[in-house]
């Protein structure tokens, strides 16, 4: 960690503590050369890999979830804020699982769980993409399922 005052690369950590929500580590550092102190913040990256249907793996990105929900909620009365909140909750639940890999299907199901209570049309649209409906029967089944609730 380069000292922001003199540019020296040798700095020592003199104190580390988590923020209240345990998501960020705050480190107090001291430069070995100029002895000035500064603070850095470390945030954990979600290093989960997403296993796609064809077996390819890619890094988990919350933007992809947001994109997927956006498509499903087009012209529906759902704000971007709500979309982002769902995506964050999905990310959070994946983080809590603490797994190295997760299937895109499992992520899709998690998103669907949220959409179901929010907007039936968006739910069905999302389901049709994620579950890869191949015939009208599958559509019918999910619409019936929504109507039951």
Q: For binding to Zn ion (CB under 5 A), which residues are involved?
A: 3, 5-6, 8, 31, 33-34
Q: How far is the CB of 30 from Zn ion (least distance, A)?
A: 9
Q: Which residue, 2 or 132, has its beta carbon nearer to Zn ion? A: 2
CB-neighbour burial class of residue 19 (10 A; exposed 0-12, middle 13-18, buried 19+): exposed
Backbone angles phi, psi at 76, to 5 degrees: -100, 155
Which residue number places its CB atom closest to Zn ion?
31
Q: How far is the CB of 1 from Zn ion (least distance, A)?
A: 11
Long-range contacts of 88-94 (CB under 8 A, 24+ apart): 88/62, 89/114, 90/65, 90/114, 91/46, 91/60, 91/62, 91/65, 94/46, 94/48, 94/60
Q: Which residue, 31 or 112, has its beta carbon nearer to Zn ion? A: 31
Q: How far is the CB of 39 from Zn ion (least distance, A)?
A: 14
Q: How far is the CB of 42 from Zn ion (least distance, A)?
A: 20
How far apart (Å, rounded) are the C-alpha atoms in residues 13 and 4? 14
Q: Which residue, 37 or 113, has its beta carbon nearer to Zn ion? A: 37
Q: Which residue, 5 or 18, has its beta carbon nearer to Zn ion? A: 5
Question: Which residue in the block uniquely carries the two structure tokens 């960690």?
Answer: 1
Q: How far is the CB of 15 from Zn ion (least distance, A)?
A: 17
List the structure tokens of 39. Answer: 């603070």
């Amino acid at each position: 960690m380069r000292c922001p005052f003199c540019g020296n690369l040798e700095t020592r950590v003199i104190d580390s503590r988590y923020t209240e929500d345990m998501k960020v580590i705050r480190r107090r550092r001291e430069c070995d050369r100029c002895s000035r102190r500064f603070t850095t913040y470390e945030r954990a990256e979600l290093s989960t890999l997403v296993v796609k249907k064809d077996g390819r793996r890619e890094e988990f990105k919350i933007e992809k979830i947001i994109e997927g929900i956006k498509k499903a909620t087009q012209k529906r009365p759902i704000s971007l804020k709500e979309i982002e909140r769902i995506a964050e909750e999905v990310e959070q639940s994946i983080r809590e699982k603490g797994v190295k890999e997760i299937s895109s299907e499992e992520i899709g199901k998690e998103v669907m769980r949220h959409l179901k209570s929010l907007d039936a049309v968006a739910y069905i649209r999302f389901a049709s993409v994620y579950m890869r409906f191949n015939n009208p029967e599958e559509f019918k089944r999910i619409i019936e399922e929504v109507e039951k609730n």
